[in-house]
Structure 1
Amino acid sequence: MVMGETGSKTVTPLPQGPDELVPSRYALRIGAIDVMVISDGVLPLPTAMLAHNADPAVRAAWLDDMFLPPDAFDWPLNVVVLRSGGRTILIDAGLGLDPNLDLPRAGQVVRRLDAAGIDLASVTDVVLTHLHMDHIGGLLVDGVQERLRPDLRIHVAAAEVEFWEAPDFSHTAMPPGFPDALRSAAKRFVGTYRRHLRTFDEAFEVAPGVVVRRTGGHTPGHSVVRLASGGDRLTFAGDAVFSVGFEQPDWHNGFEHDPEEAARVRIRLLRELAATGEALVATHLPFPSIGRVAVDGDVFRFVPAFWDY
């Protein structure tokens, strides 16, 4: 990452490609840790996926209040690249290109890493929040494995790898085809990258100030990544929180394998972030998804960060 100073943060001077109509990367600094959020594109999904346990009329009213379409809308997909202690770390890897799914506006991570001047061969570590295909698919794109370092370390919770040996979808509410696609992608990923996997039980420090910690809920091994350096802090929450999860933290997302536990994890994490005031980034919040959490009675409020130019 080529970065220039602007106060306590850094920005990337590299121009966007000629086909980029909106920004797709944003850089900042957390203490001594360089951080770049990169958009993998958007994933169109039915709005019922936001809250399959909610009254449809209440869900429709929330969507209307948010000026969102009633039937389907575009879920953002974000990944993070960071540098700390001489290590270059990719957190999640985007959707990739599944030929069985018509998702042309997602799967942009590899191309956008190249556009940002980040060579895949420079990545020393990959941290996976979980093994859903929109977090691992970028590493399954043809030609990617050959560009990675032979000593690449891929960090994932042991409970996550174990879960995908015989996944349980009984509490999810996904569109047709998704369970099979998720199962297939996870099996292929573990088979392809098994020798690179470095599993952990509850937490592991990947680099100075970079700790991945298992939360469970969304999947049994779902994890978040906490950054801390020089008094600054940031949490990459993966799929622990979605846009609707601030005002309606008890609503169940269709991809959650244990919705009740996912809600408990979400509330606990949001309360902690509100107390610490640290920055938040998450996979499915609108790009660049950087903001903070405020408590508003029994619910929460997401406060987007002002972009630093």
Structure 2
Amino acid sequence: MNQIIHCPQQDTNMNLDNTSCPGRRKPEELVPSRYAVRVGEIDVLVISDGVLPLPTEMLGHNADAAARAAWLGDMFLPADVFDWPLNVVVVRSGDRTILVDAGLGLDPNLNLPRAGQLVKRLESAGIDLASVTDVVLTHLHMDHIGGLLVDGVKDRLRPDLRIHVAAAEVKFWESPDFTHVHMPQGFPDALRSTAKRFVEEYRSHLRQFDEQYEVAPGVVVYRTGGHTPGHSIVRLASGGDRLTFAGDAVFAVGFDQPDWYNGFEHDPEEAARVRVRLLRELAATGEQLVATHLPFPSVCHVAADGDVFRCVPVFWDY
């Protein structure tokens, strides 16, 4: 028997079967992709750029395989490959609209259909690219700069756009060292070429800093090093509230196993020191944490028990 689907003129109840009705618009996605946070007088919007499937070995290539498998099992994650979240942040402070990192972009040579969603999701959030006054880049890995290399994006940005990045980061990518990384085949070449292209296209917009720089009132970027020589974090402070966007200083496994080396870390020993130091500080201050590769929206607090940390997700504010 053929199923008959009735399509009422107006239906306020959500029914997934109704998406098959002629003329009814199908939802593109059934997952949240933006989350708003208020830090004093500063508005923060966490936006998902999608997910990037990578080998689980990248989570801790210096760890024993059995220990890594046990952690993945405890977290109900697949053993071989899982999806790394990609988060970026839009910050509004005073008359400044600041994009922190720019996602992976849409490289036609990469088959990553669930990543590179930033431009579409900015538009869905009502954020015009032309309204962005500043961009802060935590580092120049392609999953943090690729969104600015999507065809047509540069033409939509302000001619006076300021892109803030550590001078050490720009210097590093002139002749990058991949000696200590543990990446899948092809990634070093892709990272190298993307960073080179980015610097060439946006050189006139770059505003380089040494150790720290106040981008807007209450919005300060600090160089940490470790993950890359110029890797930086962004710290927000207003009215007694604080939030840190940690970029790639913290990964999901880094709370339980902060000494595990991530495959993308160019100086894994220093990255581990940076991670522990930052997590201890966040546990002491109680401020909120957001990071690129924590599960969306990644807003959490850090609890500490000796040398082990715990990510405590915030209750969503509706």
Provide the C-alpha distance between the structure 2 equivalents of 1:161 and 1:144, rounded to a whole number of angstroms: 21
**Count of residue correspondences:** 293
Q: Which residue of 2 aligns with 1:121?
A: 130
Structure 1 residue 244 displacement after superposition: 0.1
Provide the C-alpha distance between the structure 2 equivalents of 1:206 and 1:242, rounded to a whole number of angstroms: 25
Structure 1 residue 297 displacement after superposition: 2.4
Q: How does 1:80-159 map to 2 (within 5 A)?
A: 80-159=89-168
Provide the C-alpha distance between the structure 1 equivalents of 2:122 and 2:294, rounded to a whole number of angstroms: 20
Provide the C-alpha distance between the structure 1 equivalents of 2:270 and 2:222, rounded to a whole number of angstroms: 16
SS at match of 2:70: helix
Q: How does 1:154-193 map to 2 (within 5 A)?
A: 154-193=163-202
SS at match of 2:203: helix
1:48 aligned to which of 57, 65, 68:
57
Show CA shifts across 1:277-302 (max 9, x none): 00000000000000000002221000
Provide the C-alpha distance between the structure 2 equivalents of 1:198 and 1:129, rounded to a whole number of angstroms: 13
Q: Which residue of 2 aligns with 1:10?
A: none
Provide the C-alpha distance between the structure 2 equivalents of 1:121 and 1:147, rounded to a whole number of angstroms: 6
SS at match of 2:66: helix
SS at match of 1:263: helix
Q: Which amino acid aligns with 2:232?
A: S
Q: Which amino acid aligns with 1:177?
A: G
Q: Which residue of 2 aligns with 1:261?
A: 270
Q: After TM superposition, what 4+ stretches of structure 1 lie above 2 angstroms from structure 2?
A: none
Provide the C-alpha distance between the structure 2 equivalents of 1:208 and 1:227, rounded to a whole number of angstroms: 9
Provide the C-alpha distance between the structure 1 equivalents of 2:27 and 2:134, rounded to a whole number of angstroms: 30
Q: What percentage of residue pairs aligned between the two structures are identical?
A: 83
Q: Which amino acid aligns with 1:230?
A: G
What residue ranges of structure 2 are gaps of 5+ in the alignment?
1-25
Provide the C-alpha distance between the structure 1 equivalents of 2:48 and 2:56, rounded to a whole number of angstroms: 21
> Are 2:293 and 1:284 aligned?
yes
> Are 2:269 and 1:236 aligned?
no
Provide the C-alpha distance between the structure 1 equivalents of 2:99 and 2:41, rounded to a whole number of angstroms: 17
TM-score for the superposition, normalised by structure 1? 0.94
Show CA shifts across 1:230-270 (max 9, x none): 00000000000000000000000000000000000000000
TM-score for the superposition, normalised by structure 2? 0.92
Q: Which amino acid aligns with 1:249?
A: P
Provide the C-alpha distance between the structure 2 equivalents of 1:153 and 1:277, rounded to a whole number of angstroms: 31
Provide the C-alpha distance between the structure 2 equivalents of 1:153 and 1:20, rounded to a whole number of angstroms: 33
Q: Which residue of 2 aligns with 1:304?
A: 313
SS at match of 2:194: helix
> Are 2:220 and 1:211 aligned?
yes
